[in-house]
Amino acid sequence: MEANSHPSAYDRDATRSLGLLDLPHETLTMITELLSRHDKAKLASTNNAMNSFLEPQLWRKIKTCIGTPKDTAGLVNLLTARPDIIPLIKVIVLDEYHPCHTRRLLSIEMPEMWGILIQHEGRPVEQVGEREKRSLNRSMLKQPKLSDFVFWIEFQDHTRTPYCLTKEDSALFRQPNVTRFRLSYIDFSSFRIIDKTFLTHGSLEKFFVEESNYTVEAFECFLSPSKNLMDLNITQHTGGLPFIPTYYLPTITSYAATLRVLQLKSSKQLDWRSSPGFSGLDLTAFSALRLLRIHPSLLLGPGAEDAQSYTAGTSLNITDLIRSRFPSGLRMLLLESLTTHSFLKYLQVEIYPQDEEFIRCLIEQRQSLAPRLKFINLYYLEDMVEPTELYDLAIKHSIEISAWYAKESIDPDFKILDADTFVARNGEVRSW
Contact by Cβ (8 Å): 298, 264: yes
- H/E stretch holding 103 reads helix 99-105
Q: Looking at the DSSP assignment, which residues form a beta bridge with residue 265? A: 235
Among 196, 199, 210, 254, which Cα is nearest to 229's? Answer: 254
Average pLDDT per 10 consecutive residues for the chain, totaling 432 residues? 49 59 75 74 75 77 93 96 94 95 97 96 80 96 97 74 92 97 95 93 96 94 95 85 86 95 75 62 94 90 67 80 91 85 62 89 92 90 86 91 84 80 70 72
Distances (CA, A) of 111 to 101, 175, 294: 19, 13, 40
pLDDT score of 104 = 97
Helix (H) or strand (E) holding 278: none
CA distance 372 to 327: 10
Would you state the pLDDT for residue 340?
62
pLDDT of residue 5: 52
The whole-angstrom separation of Cα 244 and Cα 248 is 8
Question: Which of 222, 221, 265, 215 shows the shortest CA–CA distance to 244?
Answer: 215
Name the percent of the chain lying above pLDDT 70: 86
Q: What is residue 8's DSSP assignment?
A: P
Q: Say how far residue 57 (Cα) sits from the centre of its chain.
A: 26
> In 165-298, which ranges are E strands?
180-184, 186-187, 206-210, 231-235, 261-265, 291-294
Distance CA 40, CA 58 (A): 7
d(CA 21, CA 339): 60
26 exposure class (CB count in 10 Å sphere: 0-12, 13-18, 19+)? exposed
The pLDDT value given to residue 181: 98
Sign of the alpha-carbon torsion through 119, 124, 126, 128: positive
Integer Cα distance of 220 and 313 in angstroms = 34
Predicted pLDDT of residue 14: 53
Per DSSP, the residues of 316-360 read --HHHHHHTT--TT--EEEE---SPPPSSTT--BPPPHHHHHHHH
Q: How far apart are CA 281 and CA 229, in angstroms?
A: 19
Q: How far apart are CA 356 and CA 359, in angstroms?
A: 5
pLDDT of res. 110: 97
For residue 431, the model assigns a pLDDT of 74
Distance (Å, whole) CA 153 – CA 120: 5
Name residue 377's beta-bridge partners. Answer: 334, 402
3-state secondary structure 201-237: CCCCCEEEEECCECCHHHHHHHHCCCCCCCEEEEECC
Q: Classify residue 197 by burial, with Cβ atoms within 10 Å: 0-12, 13-18, 19+.
A: exposed
CA–CA–CA angle 155, 161, 163 (5° rounding): 70
Q: Is 154 helix (H, G, I), strand (E, B) or coil?
A: strand
Residue 236 in contact with residue 242, Cβ under 8 Å? yes
What is the distance of C-alpha 332 from the center of its chain?
Answer: 18
